[in-house]
Each structure stands twice: as C-alpha cells, then as structure tokens.
Structure 1
Amino acid sequence: MIKHIGVLGAGTMGLAIARLFAEHRYEVSLYEPNDVMLQSVKTQLNKETLLIQLTSHFEKAVATADLIIECVPEQLTVKREVYQQLASVIRNETIVASNTSTYALQTLAQELPFANRMVITHFFNPAHLIPLVEMVGLPATPPSILEELAALLRKCGKTPVVLNKDIPGFIANRLQAALMREACYLLDSGVANAAQIDTVVSEGLGLRWAMKGPFEIADLGGLDIWAKVTGQLFPELSNSTVTPGTIEKLAACGELGVKTGSGYYEYDDPAAAASDMSYSLQRLLALKGTGRHEKDDNE
C-alpha cells in the first residue's frame, strides 16, 4: 500500500504533484538540491497548511518512500544520474515513476535494477487542474503495479490512461506535436499569423476537442467524409522532421514565452497570463463536469 510518496524536483511540475498528494492526506517528501529554489518553495509552503517535508537530502526523501516520482529536468543524463543514486538507497518494493513528457520508458529504465518496478506517470501542466495522467510500463512490469498507481491517481481526482505500448511522447504530446508542426508550417508559409491560427483552434477545433476525441468527432462527421478529407489533405500536410524555424529562432534569442515575457506574443504581466489560463481551464472543467452530471441524470 502506498502511504509515503517521494517527489524529486521542486519545479513547477514537482511542486504541483507534491501538493496534489499532500492535499489527499498522503505523506510527501519533496527533494530539491538547488538552494535558491529550495528557499523559494519553502516560502510558498510556509503560507500553506499542506504536510510536505521539503529537503535537500536525497536519501532522506526516498529511503522510506513507497512511491518515488521523478520530476527533474528533461535531460536524459540528469535523469539517469538520479536513477543511479536511487538504485543504492531505495527499498526493494519501492515503485519508481518518471514524469517525463518525451522519453520512452525503455530508454530511461535501461540496465536499472528496479526496471521492473519503474513506470511513466505523465502529468500535465497545470498538474492541479488537468485530470489526465498518461501511464505506461514495460512488458515485464507487473500489472498490479499499474493497477495500484491508477487507483491512487483516481483517488486523487485524476483520470489515468494506461498505454498498451511504450512509445516516445506517449499519446498527448505526439498529438500536440503534430498540431504544432502544421501550425508552424502555416505560420512560416505566410498562410496566417499566430493570432489567426490560435483563433481557429480556440474558437473552433479546441471547443470540440474539449468535449470529444478525434475518433468520436470522426464518427459524428461520417467516416465517408473523413476518408475523402484525409485522402485529399494528408499529401499536403507538413512532414518536416526538424524543429520549426520560428520556434528555433525565438528560443535562440531567449524569447521563451510567458516565462521570459515574450515569445510569439508579448506578456507585460507573465503571472497574469498564467492565472488567466488557470481560470479558463477551471471554467471549462466546471462546464465538462456539468455536462457529465446532466448525462448521468438522463440515463
């Protein structure tokens, strides 16, 4: 039974995941080696009543944990170094999960002594709002581990989806990357500007996708229609395998989006931009919840 959860990394995702479990009365240890970030997080947590043990001592955070969730930077060498540290200090029955958004589990778990107890639990930012958590194990992963983690996540209000196969990017990021590739192609080709493309998604596609998935939408539209649409459009879509030019150029100039105050757009108040996103998500989730309740009442 999972009682004590160790979270490695107190960045945006690590802190949010630690909060999630603490809010549901689990014992949580949050490890952060960076002194500046450690103090910043400590200041935030001192204003709250959540029971999170914040520490810069690696072994203290993981030695007695039943579940460890790795949320360190998305760099393979950094992650592998953390796993090597874990190998010598964790208990034999401890489950190790990574919140990676891109790396396949097979790559992360290679030659680790706890590989059969390692899984992916991919949360989405903001982790306290987005219900989805993608999960995947290896062929040797006992089904009981995935079942136990899925039950834990559901208990914390999440919607776990267990993939049948380990693949880089999983489901959501592959779909998101495919859309971003075509969006950047349309932008770089001069078909439309960023605001026009965003409007098409937020005022059209996004509204449907918030309620129905692509296969449900295809069924609603008619598969005979989609057979024609895909046959005509697929040859016209971008098939680029490199980073889109606008993303590469902006990133090279340090224009990283909200966190730096500029990207495709200018942000005079980055905090307000993040808050607006959270507020919009809360309203959408409330609407989805209302829709579910109405459906249940009519059944």
Structure 2
Amino acid sequence: MPIPPCAPDRVRRVACIGAGVIGGGWVAHFLARGYDVTAWDPAPDAETKLRRLVDAAWPALEQIGLAEGASPDRLTLAATLEEAVADAEFVQESAPEKLELKRSLLAQLDAAAPAGVVIASSTSGYPMTDMQTEATDPGRLLVGHPFNPPYLIPLVEVAGGEKTDPAAVEWASAFYKAAAKSVITMDRELPGFIANRLQEALWREALHMVANGEATVKDIDDSITEGPGLRWAFMGPCLTFALAGGDGGMGHMLDHFGPSLKSPWTRLEAPELDDSLRTAMVDGCDEAAAGRSIAQLVAERDQGVINVLRATGRLPEQRNEGGDK
C-alpha cells in the first residue's frame, strides 16, 4: 500500500459509498465535522432520502456543536462510484450486508480511488479478510465499524484483515479520532467485533424470552433503560460487576457469584425465527411505539443520546452556535 496522500488530521474530502441509514449517518457526521462529502448510492431516490436524513439529523448535531464551516451545503451527490472517489482522501463504504456485494464493491473502490487512500467498510460483522479477496491493493482495506446513528454514537471499531497494511489501520484510527470518534483499534479479527458480539448476546436472550412467553418487548426494553443501561451509559459491564464485589472488587465478585455461571440464566444459541416470533416482535414494537412514527422515535433517540452524553460529562453544557466551543 502506498503512503496515504495526506496526514489523518489534514483530510478535507471524504467519500461515502452507500447512503442508507448507516451511510447517511456517516455523511451527517462528516458534514458536521466540517468535511466536504461526496456520496454515491445506486438507488434512484438516494439523493432525496439522504438530504432528508441529513436535515433530520442537523438539529441534534447543532446541539453537540458544529465544527467551523460545517454545512449540509458541503454535500455533493456523485453520478458514479468513480466520480465519488476521484478526489477523496478517505472512503467510507456502507453498502448492504451481503458478502459478495462487499467483495465486488471494495474491489471497485480499490480500482477507482487514488493510490494510498484508505478505504473502510462499515460492515457489522464480516472480517475484512473475507471481503478483501478481489482487491488489487488489499493493504488499504479495513473495517471501520460504527454504531447507529454514526453522527451521535462515538464508537468506531477499527480492524484490518490478513492482507491489510498495519500502517493503514494506524492511519485510519488517527483519522477517526481527528473526526471526533471514540476509537477501539483491534489487534486481531473477531467476527462481529467487540460491541456487536456483546449486543448480540443480549438480543438473542431477548428473542428467547419473547418466543417462550417469558417477557414482553416492553418488559425487555424497560429492564435495560430502567436498570443496567443507566450504569452502562458511563461504566461498562466489567467495572460494574467489579463494584458488586464491594471492597474486594472483581476478585470477591467472582468468588461470590462465580457458581451462578453454571446456572441456566442465558441461552446464547438463537431461537428459531419463525412466523410466530417475528409477529410477536413486530407487534410488541408497535405497541411500545404507542403511535409514534419512526421519525418521532429517531428524534427521541437522538435527544436521549445527547442528554446522556451531556449528563455524563462527555458534552459541554453549552456550545457556541454554529462553531466549536
């Protein structure tokens, strides 16, 4: 892999390939951080949906505080993939989660992007080793896995594949930090990465409870938002459990609660997603939404994230309107 054409903190133009929920969220984030963004998506209505998503996200981004010069006007929609990456200094791919599509698209991006430009995939689970097989220069391909919505949730997990140049991983991690993300740089590949594996375990147990009639969708959501989720907003599960051990910390907690690990509290294998379970999940979410539209729920979610970030000291109480503090 050639040396990237510019330093991570000197990037000014980003290309976002794929403009759905995740890709559009990346677009909003990069625009809010003052980048010029060129986006491409093959859907015929992609531009309309993308600009609508950015407009909906902008009030939340204004609350967080915009970088100097940040504006939705710095978004350009390209007619072709090649045009989108022609002058990009970083590329974020967010296509649908289909392995063959990812392989083909990353190979096309590798062929079209300027030499040395790092190309990151937003994949939620595929190892880069499985996706970089058709690229001529796989050394610049890596995973940059965000959480939804990327314009609010700080985390991005960075991981290379077997053929990824370690220098590309180092560069990408530095770039994401310069772009105001919280970065975990993984030293090895792990299907599902770190956060998704933890999230998936909780999700599978929730599906089992609904499938077996043990809890409703609302019960499950309330159990997190009114319980451990309040602690997880500022302290992870490991430190939280360590506090359960009192002055003895994690050691005492493990000695005391270790035997419960043999108890049948969780079922990590996913239940069969049959029509009955699917209906129960869909109906349960409709009931929990209580008539609120998806747009209303997104706005509530965004404001909730901002409130938690501010309450836990990760956002200042006040920001200068239209610029950094």
TM-score class, shorter: 0.7 to 0.9
> How far is the alpha carbon of 1:16 from its aligned partner?
1.9
Work out whether residues 185 and 238 of structure 1, in 8 Å CA contact, stay in contact via their aligned partners in 2: no
- Partner residue of 1:75 out of 98, 103, 110: 98
Stretch of structure 1 that moved more, 38-47 or 48-57: 38-47
1:130 corresponding residue in structure 2: 153
Listed one character per residue, the Cα deviations across residues 50-97 of structure 1 (whole Å, up to 9, x for unaligned) are: 301112311100122222111111111221221232243222212110
| Distance of 2:206 and 2:279 partners within structure 1 | 20
When residues 238 and 226 of structure 1 are mapped into structure 2, their CA distance, relative to the original with a 3 A threshold, is: same
Give the counterpart letter for 2:304 in structure 1. Answer: S
Give the superposition deviation at 1:107: 1.1
Q: In 2, Cα distance between the equivalents of 1:23 and 1:268? A: 27
What whole-Å deviation, never above 9, does each CA across 1:242-277 have from its counterpart, x for those lacking one? 45547x64657994997xxx3875544221111111
Name the counterpart of 2:67: none
2:80 pairs with 1:57: yes
Match of 2:296 among 264, 267, 272: 272
- TM-score by length of structure 1 reads 0.85
Higher relative contact order (CA 8 A, sep 6+): 2
Q: Please tell me whether the aligned partners of residues 250 and 256 of structure 1 are also in contact (alpha carbons under 8 angstroms).
A: no
CA distance in 1 between partners of 2:49 and 2:239 (Å)? 44
What is aligned with 1:6? 15
Amino acid at match of 1:236: P
Match of 2:41 among 16, 24, 32: 32
- TM-score normalised according to structure 2 size: 0.78
**Matched residues in 2 for 1:234 and 1:115: separation?**
44
Cα distance in 2 for partners of 1:77, 1:267 equals 38
Q: Distance in 2 between matches of 1:40 and 1:65?
A: 22
Shift of 1:45: 6.3
Moved more, 248-257 or 75-84: 248-257
1:110 aligns with 2:133: yes
Q: Distance in 1 between matches of 2:16 and 2:81?
A: 10
What does 1:251-262 align with in structure 2 at a 5 Å threshold? 251=278, 255=282, 262=286
2:30 paired residue number? 21
Q: 1:205 to 1:73 in 2, by over 3 A?
A: same
1:231 Cα offset (Å): 2.8
Alpha-carbon shift at residue 165 of structure 1 (Å): 1.3
Aligned residue number for residue 297 of structure 1 = none
Residue in 2 aligned with 1:296? none
Shift of the alpha carbon at 1:33? 1.3
Equivalence for 1:237: 265
For the residue of structure 2 that corresponds to 1:35, the secondary structure is coil
1:193: how far off?
2.2
Tell me the C-alpha RMSD between the 2 structures.
2.9
Query: What residue is the counterpart of 1:175 in the other structure?
Result: 198
Q: Which sections of structure 2, spanning at least 5 residues, go unmatched?
A: 1-5, 59-70, 318-325
Task: For 1:52 and 1:215, locate their aligned partners in 2 and report how far apart those are by CA, in whole Å.
Answer: 41
Question: Could you tell me whether the CA contact under 8 Å between 1:67 and 1:94 is conserved in 2?
Answer: yes
Match of 1:288 among 298, 312, 324: 312
Q: Which moved more, 1:15-24 or 1:159-168?
A: 15-24
Question: Residue 136 of structure 1 contacts residue 165 of structure 1 at CA under 8 Å; is this kept in 2?
Answer: yes
Letter in 1 for 2:184: V
Amino acid at match of 1:231: P
The 5 A counterparts of 1:90-169 are 90-169=113-192
Question: Where does residue 50 of structure 2 map in the other structure?
Answer: 41
Q: 1:271 to 1:45 in 2, by over 3 A?
A: closer
Q: Aligned residue pairs: how many?
A: 289
d(CA) in 2 for partners of 1:256, 1:208? 29
